[in-house]
Amino acid sequence: MLVALYIHAVLFYCSYIVFGQLMTGPQLLAHLAQIHVWFKEYGVNIKE
């Protein structure tokens, strides 16, 4: 649920600058996608 809310917030504010000037919305989404790949590759599961 928390991840879904976070992704929703990123999509909503994708035209704004996130984390200072280092990552805007599209770069942040790419970063989250890479984290997803790492989690799948290493079998990481997050439970509530």
Half-sphere exposure of 45 (CA within 13 A, CB side): 3
What are 1-48's pLDDT values in tens digits? Answer: 566 766 766 666 665 555 556 666 778 788 888 998 999 999 988 887
pLDDT at 41: 95
pLDDT at 21: 62
pLDDT at 16: 59
For the question of whether the overall pTM of this predicted structure is more than 0.85, the answer is no
pLDDT at 37: 93
The residues, any chain, with a CB within 8 Å of residue 28's CB and separated by 6 or more, are 10, 18, 19
pLDDT at 47: 83
CA-nearest of 34, 14, 9 to 26 is 14
